[in-house]
Amino acid sequence: MSATIKIDTTDLNLALRDYIRATGQDSTAVVKKQSRLFAQQAMKRTPPKSYAQGRRAVAKDLDRIIDGAERGFMQRIIDWHGSADFVKQEFKRKDGSNFLVEWGHVRFDGSDLEEFHNANRDKRGRVLRAGDFTRNIGRWKANNKMIVPENVKRRYVRKVQKRVGRLKAGWIRPITRAGGNKMSVPAWIRQHNEGARSNAVLQGSGTAKVQMIMSNFASGASQLGNVVKSALRIRLSAMVREVRLIQSGYNRDFARNMRIRNRALRRR
């Protein structure tokens, strides 16, 4: 089930209209260009900033819910608690009620590791921080971890790290369908292009009501509201700035200054 981000684009639409009038450019060409620049900016601002940062974030997230251990130690844990699923300790809340802190689940094969991981992720796909010590409250919250052999953990971390860039890849199709070059997208993002859940459709080409409808359905895209708003603000600001320069005679002044400069260079 996907969620829709609703953004007020009234100012942007007005800016597009003014831009088309000021530049005298074809409306379809303008909409495609501005859509491409928007999608490129949205991709840039969609996390992570880099492949290395994304890989580190994955490893850090998984460290919160997965512990790697030697098999002998894992068996001792089971023998000690009498179960592969056990509770570490009971605590009291400030109101006097008790709550149990779950320490972990021992799994030798890691067969349900992905299911466990997914159950502990938020809407952005990041690991829930339910196991952290809340110092401002002064108590422990439920710490739900799975203990697996070290090699099983390493293998799963590498598997999840291969997904880094999928959310950014949701902007590839909007970029290319607006005239952009797919090869300009970094390879670590481009590798997810085939499975990217996104779309872009140009409607009303050649008319005054031309528009580009772009969609990003990648996992976590519903949390990109601020990214979309930021990218729209950047495009709005750029178009307004260019229209003002045109209206102030920037192009004529620039051409005149270039002629003066060229004459000065020829005298040297």
Tell me the mean pLDDT in the region 109-122.
86
Rg of the chain in Å (alpha carbons): 27
Mean pLDDT confidence for 161-170:
94
Q: pLDDT over 90 for what percent of the chain?
A: 44
Burial class (CB in 10 A: 0-12, 13-18, 19+), 95: exposed
**How many Cβ atoms from other residues are within 10 Å of residue 249's Cβ?**
10
The band of 13, judged by pLDDT with boundaries at 50, 70 and 90, is: confident
Query: pLDDT for 14-57, tens place per residue?
Result: 889 989 988 899 999 999 999 999 999 999 999 999 999 999 99
> How would residue 138 be classed by pLDDT, with cut points 50, 70 and 90?
very low
The predicted model scores a pTM of 0.78
Q: Coil, strand, or helix at residue 207?
A: coil
* Predicted pLDDT of residue 135: 42
Three-state DSSP at 4 gives coil
